[in-house]
Amino acid sequence: MPHRILIVEDNENNRILFRDILTFHGYEIAVASDGMEGVALARELLPEVILMDIQMPDMDGMAACRILKGDPLTSGVKIIALTSFAMRGDQETFLAAGFDGYLSKPIDTRELPLIVKGLLEQEMNGA
């Protein structure tokens, strides 16, 4: 059974880009366009990995991550922050919010599948 990945990203083009790349690499992909929808989908589908944009209208990635990590149902899901303003110190902020890692935009399309793969392996080994 393929691994399930949820992409939460408000920019439609980026959403399609990430979806297509990861679909190509054999993952089962679900997408959400804002934090609220992302949280609802995460609870419904219980994906293994969530790629979470930080800057989104209404509920941003930080808030969504806090909710998911605070919910015993979804607290085990690996959540990766996608951010376009990676500065030093941000990393700490993200980790403090509960993210398991972060990727700086522009996302390297060749790196993205590798990172997801690594994360899943890490989870399998860890669990």
Partner 1 sequence: MGIDKDKSMSSAAVELRRQAEERLRVKSAALTPIRTNEESQILLHELEVNQIELEMQNEELRRVQEDLELSRNKYAELYDFAPVGYFTFDLHGVIREVNLTGAQLLGVERGLLTDEPFALFIDDVDGKNIFTQHLATVLHNQGIQRCEIRLTGQSGAVIHARLQSVAFAASESKDGYILSSIVDGTAAKQLETEIQDAREYAESIIETMRRPLVVLNAEFQVLSANPSFYFTFKVTPEETIGKNLQDLGNRQWDMPELRHLLEGILQDNSGFNSYEVEHDFPGIGRRIILLNARRILRKNISSHIILLAMEDITTRRQAEEALLKTGALQSAIFNSANFSSIATDARGVIQIFNVGAERMLGYSAAEVMNRITPADISDPQEVIARAEALSIELETPIKPGFEALVFKASRGIEDIYELTYIRKDGSRFPAVVSVTALRDEQNTIIGYLLIGTDNTARKQVEAEQRQLSQSLRDHQFYTRSLFESNIDAIMTTDPSGIITDVNKQMEVLTGCTRDELIGAPFKNYFTDPDRAVMSIRLALSEKKITNYELTARARDGKETVVSFNATTFYDRDRKLQGVFAAARDITERKSLDRVLQEKNVELEGARAVAEKTNLAKSDFLSNMSHELRTPLNSVIGFSEVLQDQLFGPINSKQQEYLQNILTSGKHLLSLINDILDLSKVESGKMELELIDFSLRESLDASLMMLREKALKNGIALKMELAPEVDVRIQADQRKLKQIMFNLLSNAVKFTPAGGTVDVEAVRDGGFIQITVADTGLGIKKEDIPKLFQTFTQLESVYTKEYEGTGLGLALTRRLVELHGGRIWVKSLFGMGSRFSFTIPLLQSASNEPPAIRSTAIHGKGSTVLLIEDEPLTLDALENALQCSGYRVLRADDGAKGFEMALHESPDLIILDLIMPGMNGFDIADQLFSANPDTAMRILVLTAMHLSAADRERLAGKVWRIAEKGSLSTHELINLVEDAVSLVHGS
Residues in touch with partner 1 (CB under 8 A): 11, 13-14, 17, 20-21, 24, 55, 84-85, 88-89, 105-110
Closest contact distance (angstroms) between CB of 106 and partner 1 is 4
Least separation in angstroms between residue 12's CB and partner 1 is: 9
What is the closest distance, in whole angstroms, from the C-beta atom of residue 6 to partner 1 in the complex? 19
3-state secondary structure the chain: CCCEEEEECCCHHHHHHHHHHHHHCCCEEEEECCHHHHHHHHHHHCCCEEEEECCCCCCCHHHHHHHHHHCCCCCCCEEEEEECCCCCCHHHHHHHHCCCEEEECCCCCCCHHHHHHHHHHHHHHHC
Q: Which is nearer to partner 1, 72 or 92 (CB)?
A: 92
Nearer to partner 1, 75 or 84 (CB): 84
